[in-house]
Structure 1
Amino acid sequence: MVEGKEVMNLELQVSAPKAVEEEDEKDEDEKNENDTLQGDPEACEDQIISLIGETGRWQLERIGIVFLVSIPGLAHIFMSPFAMPKTDFWCVETESSGVHVHQDNLTKNECLDSCTSFEYDLSFWEETIISDYNLVCEASPLSTMAKMMFFGGFGIGTFVAGMVSDTFGRQKAICGFTALLLVSGVACSFMPSYTTFVGLWIVVGIAAIANFTVAFVWVMELASGKWKILLGMGMQFTWPISRIFILVCAWTLRNWRRMMQAVSAPLCLAPVLLYFLPESPRWLVAKGRISEAKVLIADAIKTNKRKADPEMISLKRPQQQRRNGTVVDILRFPVLRQKTLIMYFNWFASSFMMYGLSLNWQNLTGDLFLTFLIASCLDFPAKAFSVISLLFYGRKLPYIGLTFIAGILFVIILVVPKAGNDTIILVLSLIASFCVSSSFGMLWMWMSELMPTTVRNAGVGSASMIARVGGVLATTVGKLADVSPSIPISMFAFSALLSASLSILLPETQGKPLPDTPEESEKDKLLGIKDGFRTMFSHVRTRRAE
């Protein structure tokens, strides 16, 4: 899941007096802006759900819209294996002699100092970024650099998404980032040089993750209780769908420019879909736009066939909350700092392993399409398993168990002889990919529950930024695998086992009240080894869903 600014606690209540209905709309908005929330904050937060229902036709139709709009952007993330595949090359002309050297010579995949022109094996691919921009020999690191710059855009997009959506609204942010993704994606496919391509590809990276981030926040603002898990994790299914989407485009088109155009083209339909996407009711109330929020709530009540009378709804704007804390505030408290640093490493390790595998199957296993397809299909049960685990088994046991299994599998891959065991290594790698994909999604909820309210945005946001560092480093896995496949696998094994071991010390958060301040979080200390293992299995005994 993704980070975003949390919406302030809202209170919606049914008002009986007829006089309220006769008041001027402007006077009502001004009155409600000055009202403050009283009573139990948790109950107030769920008032909007109690009126429109935890889930219903109104929510599902609109969630379907943001679900569909998110897929093309995520497909861009997984384009690099197909736009920059390993491609055989050979020299066709040298500077000194002008002699043409053909593929059957000894110059295949060899770099000659005097070579001035290359040809590429395009028996399967029609056109790749490698062949278009001659990213071979001394220019070969530029392909890795392009991937790193793209993932660097992720970090920027994550940061920008929160600011834009909180300032201008969720609906406008989704429309804006969708338009930016469409324009930059199509324009990127026409770039004549490497420099201009990379410049626009960074913009694509920014828009792709920002679009999904805001869409995810929009969904979470309509969720409560167990539905927050179900709908939030449901949005995660856009990732495997997007992977299959780009796989189909790559197999049928086999040209990186047409692939990028095909992935971006569906966004042309986005204005039609987004026409039916309203603003987030919670954001409207938080901004004091009461009359607009009332219209949306009334429509939701009517569509979901709720018993509440839309004509009798009065909305109150919540009281102004104090300024949210920063990462500096987190690091000031020793216990909170220790928990945060452990979670930072978990985010880094999970991102490094997930993107390291999904973007480099060809370098790690020698096969691209089949392995990518199987891994993408396995991502569906991985997400479903993650939902079930979070509901019934808490946070610690699922994450630690899956991460530890992945680490052991990576160790087994290291000791299995490479000769004649390609199938065994492939199966083990796919199972490890399943474990990493499933456990990564759990970190969003665990991190948000560990962080106090006043620094929750800063904690989850900074953890996501750390994950982008793991994604950037994952782009180097292909080059390391060219040296020796054992190098990245060893790094995966170390990351997984260390992450699982450190997480034993963290407290379980399922069923616990969320801390409001760092001082409250300080009371929930890191655990010893014995207590850490005990808390892992506490929810196994109860088998009780939240």
Structure 2
Amino acid sequence: MADFGEMLRAAGDFGLFQKILLIALWFPLCLLSFIYASVFFADSDPERHCNTDWILGAGPNLTEEEQLNLTVPREPDGSLSRCLMYAPVNWTLDSIRQYGLNHTTACRDGWVYDQTLYQATIVTDFDLVCDKANELAVAQTVLGAGMLIGSLLFGPFGESFGRRRTTQIPVLFLFIFTLTGGLSPNFYLYLASQFGAGVGYGGFGMNAIVLMTEWIGITKRSMGACGGQFSGAAGLVCMAGINYLIRDWRLAQLVMAAPMGLVAVYIWFIPESARWLLDRGRTEEAKELILKAAAINRRTVPESLFEKIAVNKTVEKGGISVLIRSPVLRKRFLIIGLAWFASSLTLSCLGFNVGKFGLDIFLTQMLFGLTELPAHLLCFWLLELAGRKLCLMSTILVGGLVCLSILAVPAGNVIAVTVLAITARILVTVGMSICSVYIQELFPTPVRHTAAGLGGVAARLGGLLAPSVNLLALYHWSLPVSVFSSLTLLGGALIFLLPETRGRELADSTAQAEVPEVQTNWISTTPHPPREIYRNLYWPVRCQWVLPKGSHGLQQQRVAKCALI
């Protein structure tokens, strides 16, 4: 029976059609970095002090330094208080200078913010300081919660309604809520916009990669995910430059929304996954798309391939229930999900501390992006050379060890900390890129979108918990690093239990996906391989009789060793 892989090779598995699709989906993946990383700039807390212009009524000619010395108390280290002021009094300036002010109070008339670094952030626009400072973590958490809901919602949604819809609708979310976020008149509408943009982010990211992967052949399959991650790293670099030039967070939001509006127009012209259409039994629609791809690639698909699939193809029900019922698929998902969760937690914890490494925030963020660019290019080459399993284990394990090494750096050595943080970020980012390739090859077409979506949920959950993990620094500065490093090491070690998928065609049924882990040892006294080997299998299997150690050549102890051809 002809399968989709054979049809794709006939139509061209990496021709002009696939390249146009990749570019169309890589561009919005670049913009996703703008949405995610912009929060690091938008919520920056600049230097500030209470607004004490009340004293200018008594002394209009006071310099700023004199005004602050008279009206703002000092901290033990000699710096001006950021949240307290001296209570206003109806005294003359001479009386204030002679007797001084002693009664302190919270800021009554707002704050004066230093605009050296930023002209405006959500902190300065909504006064998220002092007793409202914890609301900054709420903004980060709301974005993460939206990404979590988006992954959870659009993952299973793609199994029923197709890959195309689960990329189109999230783009509309991204455009609308990025635009409304920049126009938000208050913090609560900003939070709602962050949540909506997070839903779009979570829905689009993994689903776009699934759509790309299902249109690409075996030899270039990792191009979709690795290229998407490369595009995201390029977005980090561009976003750092945009925020360096535009120091007003509202204007930066509007600038980010403009190209997303372009994507919201052309995204309606992308093709559906022909593999998914065949899996749903919609052969005529799949045939039309395959012929279109073949025409663009200047290839010809034999009619006999369509006839074979039309006769033999049956629809297999997928969804979350399949992941739960199948022991093989369930084990795979738990392992890859943990690795993805730990990598995302590490990445987010490092990202949310980007302004605390001691170097310029724009420079650090740009270094994050620039150093990831060659890493993702190298990732594509290594995946085809060394395979998914070895690459994922090595990147995550080494990334966890680099994170742990931060604890050994002497306090105040900001350059060493930054170098280690960037190195760890590169490794776990590449690990997440590999996860997005690996998870699609571990699961069959009926549940591939669900598995990828739930894997995205695990990743988003890591990002959602990152602010809470960082808060452990209140008890001891080493706790956050210890927690996310340990989880990363555990996730990397468990990858050893997964099968290698390099060079294998994507499975189109649960039986195909389970073949690499089926126990293929049977004790038999018959001269033929057991019939159960062939039950419910679509892929050809070759079996060979071997004698276990210690059998002393006894015919009845021969074992059938079976493997995919």
Taking a change above 3 Å as real, the CA distance of residues 154 and 502 of structure 1, as seen in their structure-2 partners, is same
Which shifted more, 487-496 or 425-434?
487-496
Letter in 2 for 1:66: L
User: Does the 8 Å CA contact 1:73/1:207 hold for their aligned counterparts?
Assistant: no
Residue number in structure 2 paired with 1:106: 74
Instruction: Return the offset for 1:455.
Output: 5.7
Residue number in structure 1 paired with 2:35: 76
Residue number in structure 1 paired with 2:324: 330
Instruction: Give 3-state SS (helix, strand or coil) of 2:317's partner.
Output: coil
2:45 maps to 1:86? yes
Letter in 2 for 1:182: F
Instruction: Return the offset for 1:410.
Output: 2.4
Separation of aligned partners in 2, 1:196 and 1:171:
30
User: Does the 8 Å CA contact 2:155/2:454 hold for their aligned counterparts?
Assistant: no
Cα deviations by residue, 1:212-266 (Å, 9 ceiling, x for unpaired):
3332222122112122122332222221122123212211111111111111111
Taking a change above 3 Å as real, the CA distance of residues 371 and 484 of structure 1, as seen in their structure-2 partners, is farther
2:315 maps to 1:321? yes
User: Does the 8 Å CA contact 1:54/1:224 hold for their aligned counterparts?
Assistant: yes
Letter in 2 for 1:46: G
Residue number in structure 1 paired with 2:483: 491
Instruction: Return the offset for 1:433.
Output: 1.5
Instruction: Return the offset for 1:106.
Output: 2.0
* 1:137 corresponds to which of 119, 130, 135: 130
Taking a change above 3 Å as real, the CA distance of residues 524 and 194 of structure 1, as seen in their structure-2 partners, is farther
Which shifted more, 237-246 or 495-504?
495-504
TM-score by length of 2: 0.75
Instruction: Give 3-state SS (helix, strand or coil) of 1:444's partner.
Output: helix
User: Does the 8 Å CA contact 1:175/1:271 hold for their aligned counterparts?
Assistant: yes
Cα deviations by residue, 1:270-299 (Å, 9 ceiling, x for unpaired):
355346534444445555655554444333
User: Does the 8 Å CA contact 1:407/1:493 hold for their aligned counterparts?
Assistant: yes
User: Does the 8 Å CA contact 2:32/2:201 hold for their aligned counterparts?
Assistant: yes
* 1:435 corresponds to which of 427, 430, 436: 427
1:179-194 equivalence runs, <5 A: 179-194=172-187
Instruction: Give 3-state SS (helix, strand or coil) of 1:236's partner.
Output: helix
Residue number in structure 1 paired with 2:247: 254
User: Does the 8 Å CA contact 2:406/2:417 hold for their aligned counterparts?
Assistant: yes
* 2:436 corresponds to which of 441, 444, 448: 444
Separation of aligned partners in 2, 1:474 and 1:456:
27
1:39-54 equivalence runs, <5 A: 39=1, 43-54=2-13
User: Does the 8 Å CA contact 1:91/1:102 hold for their aligned counterparts?
Assistant: no
Instruction: Give 3-state SS (helix, strand or coil) of 2:3's partner.
Output: helix
Higher relative contact order (CA 8 A, sep 6+): 1
1:403-418 equivalence runs, <5 A: 403-418=396-411
Instruction: Return the offset for 1:75.
Output: 1.7
* 1:500 corresponds to which of 492, 496, 499: 492
Instruction: Return the offset for 1:206.
Output: 0.7
Letter in 2 for 1:300: A
User: Does the 8 Å CA contact 2:174/2:197 hold for their aligned counterparts?
Assistant: yes
Cα deviations by residue, 1:30-80 (Å, 9 ceiling, x for unpaired):
xxxxxxxxx3xxx51213312321111122123211222333234201111
Instruction: Return the offset for 1:502.
Output: 3.5
User: Does the 8 Å CA contact 2:171/2:200 hold for their aligned counterparts?
Assistant: yes
Task: Give unpaired runs (5+ residues) of structure 1.
Answer: 1-38, 526-546
Taking a change above 3 Å as real, the CA distance of residues 480 and 118 of structure 1, as seen in their structure-2 partners, is farther
User: Does the 8 Å CA contact 2:42/2:249 hold for their aligned counterparts?
Assistant: yes
Instruction: Return the offset for 1:451.
Output: 5.0
User: Does the 8 Å CA contact 2:357/2:417 hold for their aligned counterparts?
Assistant: no
Instruction: Give 3-state SS (helix, strand or coil) of 1:316's partner.
Output: helix
* 1:125 corresponds to which of 118, 133, 140: 118
Taking a change above 3 Å as real, the CA distance of residues 266 and 216 of structure 1, as seen in their structure-2 partners, is same
Q: CA RMSD in A?
A: 3.6
> What is the number of equivalent residue pairs in this alignment?
482
Cα deviations by residue, 1:297-334 (Å, 9 ceiling, x for unpaired):
3333232222447999767387443332536853784x
1:451-462 equivalence runs, <5 A: 458-462=450-454
Residue number in structure 2 paired with 1:358: 351
Residue number in structure 1 paired with 2:547: none
Residue number in structure 2 paired with 1:66: 25
Letter in 1 for 2:130: C
Separation of aligned partners in 2, 1:442 and 1:399:
6
Letter in 1 for 2:27: L
2:230 maps to 1:237? yes
Cα deviations by residue, 1:452-489 (Å, 9 ceiling, x for unpaired):
77765554433332221111112346555577653332
Instruction: Return the offset for 1:118.
Output: 1.9
Instruction: Return the offset for 1:339.
Output: 5.2
Overall identity of the aligned pairs, in %: 26
Instruction: Return the offset for 1:356.
Output: 1.7
Letter in 2 for 1:122: Q
2:414 maps to 1:422? yes
2:430 maps to 1:468? no
Letter in 2 for 1:63: L
User: Does the 8 Å CA contact 1:250/1:259 hold for their aligned counterparts?
Assistant: yes
User: Does the 8 Å CA contact 1:75/1:263 hold for their aligned counterparts?
Assistant: yes
Letter in 2 for 1:324: G
Residue number in structure 2 paired with 1:174: 167
Taking a change above 3 Å as real, the CA distance of residues 226 and 141 of structure 1, as seen in their structure-2 partners, is same
Which shifted more, 161-170 or 229-238?
161-170
Instruction: Give 3-state SS (helix, strand or coil) of 2:215's partner.
Output: coil
